[in-house]
Each structure stands twice: as C-alpha cells, then as structure tokens.
Amino acid sequence: MLVGMNLYKAYANHSIIENIDFEAKPGDMIVLTGENGSGKTTLLDMIAYLKKADGGTIELNSEPFISNNIRQQVAYLSNENFAMKNTTIAEFVKQHTLLFDDIQIEKWDRLLASWGINKQLKLGELSTGMLMKVKIGSVLARDVEVYLYDEPFANIDILARSEVMKAIISETKSDAITIISSHHLEGTEQLYNKLWLIKNKTLKKLIPKYIDQKLVIH
C-alpha cells in the first residue's frame, strides 16, 4: 500500500501543495487531474523521490521513502528529456538495462514490435506519439510495485493515445499501483478505478461516475 500523510511542498516560500493525504492499494489505477500548475507533477516527483517533501511522509508497505530499495520499487515516466536525439532505441533500451535490474527486455521488445517501431531508429527521428510509446515501454518493462506517468497523453494524436491506454491497461501487473496525471479526462474513463483532483493546493478524491469533467477542471 502507498500512503501519503500531510504532505507539503513549497518553492521560494510559496506553497504548491498543502496537507495532502492519500492511500493507494495494490491493483489501483488512479488518474490524477487538475489544472496546469496545480501541483500534479510536484506530487508525482515526491512519490518518485525526485523531490523531497517539505513536510509529511510517504510510505510504501509501511516503509518510508528514505531507503534506496523502496525507491527502486517506483517506475516513473516524467516530462524530462532524458536521452540524446541521436541515441537509437536499441541503445536507449541498453541504457535502461544498466540502470535498472528489473527491466524485462523481452516485454519491452514485444511492445515495440506490436507498435511497429524499429529499434534501429534514433529518438530524434520519432514522432511525438512514437517517442511516447518508447518511453511508456521503458516504464511497463520494469517489474516494480508502483508505476507513475506524468501527462502521457499530452501532445499525441487520438490513435497513439488509444494505443498507449491499451498498453497501460493490458501490460500492468494486476497487483501494481498506477498513478497517471492528466489534465484531459476525456476518454480516460476506461483507465481508472479512482480519480484524484488537486485543487486549491489540496487533494480531493472524486467518485468517477458522478464526475462533471468541466467542473473538475474549471
């Protein structure tokens, strides 16, 4: 179980999120929504331990996120550009096998093949949708307890978005915890069993079937 308690984060004495509590159980697939700049990325960065909370705690299976073995149980698709454009996909895959012991190369290769992506292509040669699929594959290929995705559907076309969603649904372990941030909810209903909204610096848990998407975002 992933638990956050009384989380607080500020930059230059300006608070981004305050008093955030959450609980995610094995098997949960959660969409985290809110306006741009609401703190979605900040919260994911804190769960991935890329940023430390200024207050509160995060625990996985009752262990705090201070030990390396716990942090290794999180796979994170961030918005950072973390590879050179002249790197081939094959080289990108190899780099990940050196970084993470839990990479399942066969699974990643199978995903790339299903999308018709040639591993000899360079990252800089890929369309936005193809690049996102490669990055999604890098997350799904890891054997961890928590999967985080920061805006995986942004700036890709409808077909690529559908293929990415299908992969996340079909290729995620049934006992894993998945949190996906997105400020666009349309078409994501098939993804989640829980919906979280960051608004006014706090986290609200919404009941999916009663959601008015316009009210959520605006």
Q: What is the per-residue pLDDT across 44-86, written as a single tens digit (0 to 9) for each? A: 999 998 899 999 999 999 988 776 777 789 999 998 766 788 9
Question: Residue length, the chain?
Answer: 218
pLDDT digits (tens, 9 = 90+) for 118-176: 999 999 999 999 999 999 999 999 999 999 999 999 888 989 999 999 999 999 999 99
Per CATH, domain 2-217 is 3.30.2350.10:
no
pLDDT digits (tens, 9 = 90+) for 7-40: 999 998 899 999 999 999 999 999 999 998 899 9
For the chain, what are the domain ranges? 2-217
Distance in angstroms (rounded) separating the CA atoms of residues 146 and 3: 12
Q: Where do the DSSP E strands lie in the chain?
A: 2-11, 14-24, 29-33, 55-60, 63-64, 74-77, 146-150, 177-181, 194-199, 202-206
Give residue 215's pLDDT.
41
Give residue 137's pLDDT.
96
pLDDT digits (tens, 9 = 90+) for 80-109: 766 788 999 999 999 999 999 999 999 999
